Structure 1
Amino acid sequence: MAEIKIKKKQPIWPWLLLLAGILAGLYYFFVYDENDAIVDKKELVTEDTTVMPTVADEKVAEYNQFIADNSEMDLDHEFSNNALLKLIAATEAVANSVNVDINADLDTARADADYITKDPMDGNHANKIKSAGEIIVQALTKVQTQKFENLSTELSDVKSSVNKIQNETLTLEQKAAVKDFFKRAGELLTNMNQQ
């Protein structure tokens, strides 16, 4: 008679252990290691706390630095012209940073600022400085009422200082009033920019 050979079955448990090991390795590689990467990314984000200066930061700082460094008012009115132009730029930058449209208001102020350097002997420079200042105050009022209700006192100080500039009086005879307006406007812009 023919002999039937029976093979003994190989145990399946070593294959199950191997499969479990492979699955554990894949789990560790894809899930556990990915969580470590997420933690590392969070640490990188929280470690970098450097704040990049905005356009408003730069323009306000530039204006304040200019009026602090260049306090001499001469017959050529370069100081007043540059201070007004830098004040307009800083006002625009702060308004833009809080999405308040004031551009139309400031075009006339720029024209007034440019006018004061055309003829040094013209007696209307104070009128133009005051006119430009009043326009800037209107723009600042729009920004303050829409976005910075807590700065009404500071805005009142700026309004008061521009009102002290007298028409028909030579600018060089009222340097203190003009400089006070520039100073108070800078303080208001700084406060707006820091909020």
Structure 2
Amino acid sequence: MAEIKIEKKKPVWPWVVLILVVLGIIAYFVYADQNDNDLNDDFDDDYNNEQVVDPTYDSSPDDTYDTKKSYDQFKAFDESISDSTRVAIDSSYTKKAFANLTKAVVRTADDNNVEDSEALTDLRNFSSLITSISTTTKDTKGFKNFKTASDKVVKVMEDIQKKNFPALQTQVADLKQSASKIDGSVTMNKQQDQIYTFLRQSRDVLQMMNN
């Protein structure tokens, strides 16, 4: 009688494992790419779509400032706090307001020939600091940078006042007091009044300095 050869079936599980591994790798790269896009969106927040005038010298040979640019930067800041209901509630809106404020302060300091200081240098580099500010109102660690920026703004504006605006001593003192009320350990949506008051007073003092 002839023997019937029975061929053993090759196990299927190695193929199943291989397919799962491939699918896992694909899912990882898709998820990672999505996270990168979300992170960029958080940092950008349409930041470049807002009017933010760069506080640099104009192109004239003698390196003098264009006073219209100084005014435009103040105007950009003024417009970025026009909707008080969004300040400290809309994180993207608030980031742009602080960015425009620091640029307006730097421009005013340069217009008044204020000597460089640690605070002024930090405000010049605020474009890099802005990316480390959390766009979520729950992240108090990221929000501490708003407090840092506020304190540095006051320091530079105080230097400007002492150099060229002795009559604004009271206004700058009031601004300093407002900045002290901003708490770096509290989420910004819980201190909207304090933040908006600080931004509004900063605008008023800058306007008097630029008139």
TM range (shorter): 0.5 to 0.7
Write the letter of the residue equivalent to 1:106.
L
Secondary structure at 1:124 match in 2: helix
Distance in 2 between the 1:129 and 1:101 partners? Answer: 24
Alignment of 1:114-125 (within 5 A): 114-117=131-134, 121-125=138-142
How many correspondences in the alignment? Answer: 143
Unaligned runs of 5+ in 1: 1-51
Q: Give the aligned partner of residue 141 of structure 1.
A: 158
Q: Give the aligned partner of residue 107 of structure 2.
A: 93
Distance in 1 between the 2:90 and 2:83 partners? Answer: 17
Q: Give the aligned partner of residue 189 of structure 2.
A: 172
Q: Does 1:72 align with 2:72?
A: no
Secondary structure at 2:140 match in 1: coil
The 8 Å contact of residues 138 and 187 in structure 2, kept in 1 or not, is answered as no
Q: Does 1:59 align with 2:73?
A: yes
Distance in 1 between the 2:79 and 2:90 partners? Answer: 21
Cα distance, 1:111 vs structure 2: 4.2
Change (3 A) 1:53 1:111: closer
Write the letter of the residue equivalent to 1:164.
K
RMSD, aligned CA:
2.3
More helix per residue: 1
Identical-residue share of aligned pairs (%): 21
Unaligned runs of 5+ in 2: 1-65
The 8 Å contact of residues 99 and 127 in structure 2, kept in 1 or not, is answered as yes
Alignment of 1:1-195 (within 5 A): 54-69=68-83, 71-73=85-87, 77-102=91-116, 103-107=120-124, 109-117=126-134, 121-194=138-211
Secondary structure at 1:130 match in 2: helix
Distance in 1 between the 2:128 and 2:140 partners? Answer: 17
Change (3 A) 1:115 1:125: same
Distance in 1 between the 2:137 and 2:190 partners? Answer: 14
Change (3 A) 1:60 1:141: same
Instruction: Specify the structure having the higher radius of gyration (Cα).
Output: 1
